[in-house]
Amino acid sequence: MKILIADDSRVMRQIVVRTLRQAGFGDHALIEAADGQEAFDKTTAEQPDLVISDWNMPHLTGIEVLRQLRAAGNSVKFGFVTSECTPEMKTAAEASGSAFFIVKPFTAERFDEVFAPILG
């Protein structure tokens, strides 16, 4: 399976990758995107099985990426790993078809809990 990690912070992408490996998902192909537009383009081109996205990114926010993918008929499993979490953000994410919402800081145990049902 293929997982796309979208975050404008290179360090945070590395932390997400490391945590995925610690949670036992390191054998999946991991793709990175450094901003929202790149996340949209790579999701369309690479057809990942899962997108893990930050909320605030340049060019397109994570929620804009999700909404544009859904508008284009793309039903990829998509969710957020972000430092911000307001009730409005969670509601917008769920209404747009987000599969999960993980708040930083996160643990390998939390990743396993959320991603095991999605990735098997």
Counting beta carbons within 10 angstroms of the beta carbon of residue 80, is it exposed (0 to 12), middle (13 to 18) or buried (19 or more)? Answer: buried
Backbone angles phi, psi at 25, to 5 degrees: -110, 20
Counting beta carbons within 10 angstroms of the beta carbon of residue 33, is it exposed (0 to 12), middle (13 to 18) or buried (19 or more)? Answer: buried
Residue from 54, 58, 12, 50 nearest 31 by CA? 50
The model's pTM is 0.96
Check residue 85 and give its pLDDT.
87
**Residue 67 and residue 71: Cα distance in Å, rounded?**
6
What tens-digit pLDDT sequence spans the chain (120 residues)?
A: 999 999 999 999 999 999 999 999 989 999 999 999 999 999 999 999 999 999 999 999 999 999 999 999 999 999 999 998 899 999 999 999 999 999 999 999 999 999 999 987
CATH match for 2-119 among 3.40.50.300, 3.40.640.10, 1.10.287.110, 3.40.50.2300: 3.40.50.2300
- 73 Ramachandran zone, left/alpha/beta (phi>0; psi -120 to 50): left
| Annotated domain spans of the chain | 2-119
